Amino acid sequence: MNWTWFHKLGSPKWFYDISGRWLPWLSLAAALLIGVGTVWGLAFAPPDYQQGNSFRIIYIHVPAAILAQSCYVMLAVAGVVGLVWKMKLADVALQCAAPIGAWMTFVALLTGAVWGKPTWGAWWVWDARLTAMLILLFLYFGVIALGQSISNRDSAAKACAVLAIVGVINIPIIKYSVDWWNTLHQPATFKITEKPAMPAEMWVPLLIMVLGFYCFFAVSLLLRMRLEVLKRESRASWVKAEVERSL
Amino acid sequence: MNPLRKKRLFIILGILAGVGVAVGLALSALQQNINLFYTPTQIAAGEAPQDARIRAGGMVKEGSVSRSADSLDVQFVVTDYAQDVTIRYRGILPDLFREGQGIVALGRLNADGVLVADEVLAKHDENYMPPEVTKALKESGKQPEGAMPASAGGKMGGGQ
């Protein structure tokens, strides 16, 4: 396998150039997918036989929850890369992704509560899935706080990477909580081995929304990372040239 | 990969495995406390404490719901298709409450083994369907999958 792309990530300038080329396409894809998915999901998908229209919150809740977990896995991968290969960009990615992931977790919890009130009869229940998701939110807060509170950049990077890696244990717990314990939260509708417990006219817009959320995540992450790279490399000549050019 | 990086990678993997085992042991020790509710089988076997507020979960038995004519009192039977628990409740039931639906009730067991609930939550399953499909299924004599005792009961009772 060709690993040159991986080693090139060690160069912030290369990252800045390549991400600048990807951004317009990713933004376009995010806007298109989320636009189509929202209209399709909220207006054209059929209502559910039991929940009626309130099930439509799935089109925000599920993508946000998937993103919240994927983002944390990404944090852990960035943490490993940062600790093992000492790559500076890994810390940039970790610090920039954490607030986005925290927001995604918050959106998933909030939409879940809004849906839970009419469906279950309660805003919040201390069941395993919900509690594990709340722990994920606190893990994100921990990573953000740790990164902000240590002034030495290298020590902060190391501490955040360790927390991100240790916290990744929570991800399988979130995923399998509904299978391991009796929970109020329903088990997964989509399984790799079975066909979805939902007709295509419902899951196609959901899939579009999930892809759209991934593109949106990539766009906001790249934007934040580019700014952070410029800040950290502010003494490099290419950054000075870049800033001069954009002024 | 150079030896130093390899060493660091193995240290990280070692830490992760260690923490994973620790969390796994802690969770398996807490197994009973993490479950949101007791199934009727567990209650019948005496696994649920008598003098504490507990949650009981299961499917509402068909034809078991009886409402009082002049108050919000309602009594119904919850089943996991092996054992039953009678539940008494006063209050407004959630939208999804109906016969054949999974529910979780919070309350105390009285001396007769009846759970006097002060909160009833409806449990939704993982099946989604447009209403036309359910209607077509009903007309062809088949129940919609979501309300089918076999699939839902398997989940409800299969927690342990």
Nearest-Cα residue of chain A relative to residue B160: A181
Say yes or no to pLDDT of B120 above 70.
Answer: yes
Evaluate whether B98 touches B64 at the Cβ level (below 8 Å): no
Mean pLDDT of chain B: 79
**pLDDT value at B145 more than 60:** no
Q: Which helix (H) or strand (E) holds B79?
A: strand B73-79
pTM across the whole model = 0.84
Q: How far is A26 from A11, CA to CA, in rounded Å?
A: 22
| Closest by Cα among A88, A122, A109, A99 to A15 | A88
Question: In one letter, which amino acid is A10?
Answer: G
CATH number for domain B37-122, candidates 2.40.50.140, 1.10.357.10, 3.30.390.10, 1.20.1050.10: 2.40.50.140
Residues 6+ apart with CB under 8 A from B63: B99
Amino acid letter for position B86: T
For range B55-84, the mean pLDDT = 87
pLDDT of residue B155: 40
Can you give the pLDDT of all 247 residues of chain A as single tens digits? Answer: 678 888 888 888 899 999 999 999 999 999 999 999 999 999 988 888 878 888 899 999 999 999 999 999 999 999 999 999 888 899 999 999 999 999 999 999 999 999 988 888 888 988 889 999 999 999 999 999 999 999 998 999 999 999 999 999 999 999 998 888 888 888 888 877 777 888 888 889 999 999 999 999 999 999 999 999 999 988 888 899 888 888 8
CB contacts, 8 Å: A80 with chain B:
9, 12
Q: Which residues of B touch A186 (CB under 8 A)?
A: 123-126
- Domain spans, chain B: 37-122
Would an 8 Å CB–CB cutoff place B96 in contact with chain A? yes
What's the CA gap between A192 and A126, in Å, rounded? 28
* B90 residue type, one letter: R
Contact B95 A182 (CB under 8 A): no
Q: Mutate which of B27, B55, B124 to test chain A, going by most A C-beta atoms within 10 A?
A: B124
Task: Report pLDDT for B157.
Answer: 38
Question: Smallest Cα–Cα separation from A98: which of A54, A50, A130, A142?
Answer: A142
Q: Look at A166 and B111; give whichever has higher pLDDT.
A: A166
Residue B38 annotated as binding site: no
Q: Does A166 touch chain B (CB under 8 A)?
A: yes
Q: What ipTM was assigned to the predicted interfaces of this complex?
A: 0.70
What separation in angstroms does the CA of A175 have from each of A8, A9, A228, B21? Answer: 34, 31, 32, 17
pLDDT-derived band of residue B154, with 50, 70 and 90 as boundaries? very low
CB-based contact B94 A186, cutoff 8 Å: no
pLDDT tens for residues B8-42?
888 899 989 999 999 888 888 887 777 788 888 88
Q: Does B30 touch chain A (CB under 8 A)?
A: no
